[in-house]
Structure 1
Amino acid sequence: MVYVEEYMTKKVNSLDPSSTVLDIIELVKKTTHDTFPVVVNSKVKGIISVHDIIGKLESEQVKDLMTNRDDMIVTKPKTNIMDAGRIMFRTGFSKLPVVDEENNILGIITNTDVIRSQIEKTTPKKLEKIINSYKNLGYELTTKRETIPINELIPTQSKVYEDELYGRAYELKRGLAEPIIVIKTNIGRKYILVDGHHRAVAAYLSCINELEAHVLEIDTDKKMGIEKTAEKQGLVSLKDVKIIDEDKSNCSSTYKLKSSILEI
């Protein structure tokens, strides 16, 4: 079972009841969020969204426009994330504050978080298969999940397909992409990219500098076969991966594709 606490955002942008419409507008500009819990001394008092301030004066206060605690919906950290998703679907709320038994704010969960939790269900099976493959080859390894810089990735796939890059770019911009899978050995600082080439190239073209990754740390001081194969193909960084347009059966214009992806 997947719980809300595994996907909720713990750093919450909140407002005070005495905050004004102008304060909300400034917070929207700063964060790009559209809904905020109203909190006093860590206790949730209500919630307010941009829809509540349409047509209101900049000087009007949050306490007069917010949905009060008794009329709003919250969830708990140990709630099944799919149950939280069903509540959102039935009520139309896209965000739910996460509180403890004393109504203290712990985080916020969004409908995007719910979708992401289901997409990432496919990753453990794939990850387990890759781990077992290397264990069967006699390697000792540990795994961890972390955010890594994409400029430290060594690709092992020489080409990706243009049509799939658009889909991956869309997922990345909305936080829906699965983590990539990489290998880290005792040699150097770079990560060997095992799974997620389309995601990584889409991130590169979208000017996204970091990606979530499952890191397989393998205890070896020798270059692995997958890394030697990459070297033979001249693969040093993501810019060495060719982008193929299947319909035209040749390499497409990276500049044109990059411009299109940046507009997504």
Structure 2
Amino acid sequence: MDKKRVRDYMTSDVDTVPMTGTAREVIHAIKVTSHDGFPVVDGNIVVGYISARDLLFVHPETPVREIMSHHLIVAEPEMAIGDVARVIIRSGIQKLPVVNEKNELLGIISNTDVVRSQIEHVSPEKVYKLMDTLERLHEIKPHLSKGPVQIHMLLPTQSRIYMDELEGRIYEIKKGLAEPVIVIQKPGRIILVDGHHRAVAARKLGIKILEAYIIEITENIELGLERTAKAMNLKTIDDISIMDYARHPLVAGTHRFGGMGTIVPDQYQDPSHRVS
């Protein structure tokens, strides 16, 4: 798969402040947008960056050009996401303006965008490993293709998803960044293996088709995934439960036990738990 690039994850609609502005105007912009900093521009040319901490102990009428950071780190649209991650970690900067060769502002990329780019990454190895498992367990020869699948036709194999990850998938789909789901297609049935959060997110957005890695088997055999779905009474995507933040195993709290103690995340209590 091609490397993920800054242009795929940056936000193009960027709030900026003019170099001719004042600290008072920046404070107002922070209140209106809830952002903690802005690229400073002269027309569309990036000339600096100003953050909330730059405004500490500064008179409201102080010109932006006197308090902004002049030596800033920027990214280019073709820069690999992995390189951006290294820059962010080493510099401690949370947002990088994205510019072209003329230093014109094209967008902005944040540490949150970098994290989102890595969540639920579907690698070819993941798909081939599943195909190998099917071949060994059932002595069949699966065929792999890539194409669209209709969401209402999918048989889910996961009974619950989590609200925080669902919101992340909705964000990605809106920006056109969703990874393909993984399905097994057999006679008369399409089984969703990986991508339950993406499928539900698309459903909520009114999207009817998702791009998928399609593992096709011609044999009409019952798979373990189908038995799992039957045991959890799952028939369509609408049967998946959405859990709130407090139930996510990654953010489990000690309140379950009335005090400090060992946390038992949900996935260890329910052997059918998988997150996708």
| Aligned residue in 2 for 1:53 | 55
| Aligned residue in 2 for 1:9 | 11
Please give the TM-score of this superposition, normalised by the length of structure 2: 0.57
Q: Once the two structures are superposed, what CA deviation does each residue of 1:105-150 show, in whole Å capped at 9, x if it has no partner?
A: 122122222233333543555578899x9xx889986459xxxxxx
Cα distance, 1:41 vs structure 2: 2.0
Q: Is the 8 A contact 1:123 1:178 kept in 2?
A: no
Q: Is the 8 A contact 1:154 1:235 kept in 2?
A: no
Looking at structure 2, the residues matched to 14 and 165 of structure 1 have their Cα atoms a distance apart, in angstroms, of 34
Cα distance, 1:24 vs structure 2: 2.6
Cα distance, 1:46 vs structure 2: 0.5
Q: Which amino acid aligns with 2:155?
A: T
Identical counterparts, % of pairs: 32
Q: What SS is found at the alignment partner of 1:107?
A: strand
- My pick for the range that moved more, 21-30 or 10-19, is 21-30
Q: Which amino acid aligns with 1:100?
A: N
Q: Is the 8 A contact 2:122 2:179 kept in 1?
A: no
Q: Which amino acid aligns with 2:194?
A: D
Cα distance, 1:28 vs structure 2: 3.0
Q: Is the 8 A contact 1:182 1:214 kept in 2?
A: no
| Aligned residue in 2 for 1:77 | 77
Q: Is the 8 A contact 1:127 1:181 kept in 2?
A: no
Q: What SS is found at the alignment partner of 1:101?
A: coil
Is residue 165 of structure 2 the alignment partner of residue 168 of structure 1?
Answer: yes
> What is the total number of aligned residue pairs between the two structures?
219
Gaps of at least 5 residues in structure 1 are 145-151, 184-191, 219-228, 244-253
| Aligned residue in 2 for 1:102 | 102
Gaps of at least 5 residues in structure 2 are 135-140, 184-190, 215-225, 252-276
1:189-208 equivalences under 5 Å are: 195-198=194-197
Q: Once the two structures are superposed, what CA deviation does each residue of 1:78-131 show, in whole Å capped at 9, x if it has no partner?
A: 223222222221111111112122111122122222233333543555578899
Q: What SS is found at the alignment partner of 1:10?
A: coil
Distance 1:159 1:89, change over 3 A: closer
Please give the TM-score of this superposition, normalised by the length of structure 1: 0.59
Is residue 211 of structure 2 the alignment partner of residue 215 of structure 1?
Answer: yes
Looking at structure 2, the residues matched to 154 and 52 of structure 1 have their Cα atoms a distance apart, in angstroms, of 54
Q: Is the 8 A contact 2:164 2:244 kept in 1?
A: no
Q: What SS is found at the alignment partner of 1:122?
A: coil
Say what the alpha-carbon RMSD is for the aligned residues: 4.8
